[in-house]
Structure 1
Amino acid sequence: MEFAYVHENVAAIRLSIEAACAKAGRDPADVRVIAVTKTAPPDIVLNTGCCLRQGCG
């Protein structure tokens, strides 16, 4: 299964966090992203978690 969109979404989330933190004067490293799903298949969940931990995107 192709996971490029997961990496793109994580990158977009990180950019949004960085912009919000810059505006608020906060360090983006202080923000924790938690992935939550009700219907995604396990392979997507595992890939997303891996992407978040490794900082890809």
Structure 2
Amino acid sequence: MNYVVKAFMDKTDGKVYFAGDCYDGERTEELIGLGYVQDDKPKKKTRVKKTTE
């Protein structure tokens, strides 16, 4: 499940989502990019290896 950060109305179904609601629609990636929805699975952080010369 993805959580709504800012309230918005979904243009595909016309439903209004408020902050704190769960969103599992078809536009998830687009809304995450716009900042309306927070991804429930954070991306893995990679470490940068320090090299000495």
Q: TM-score range by the shorter chain?
A: under 0.3
| Greater helix content | 1
Q: Which has the higher contact order (CA 8 A, sep 6+)?
A: 1
TM-score after normalising by structure 1: 0.24
TM-score after normalising by structure 2: 0.25
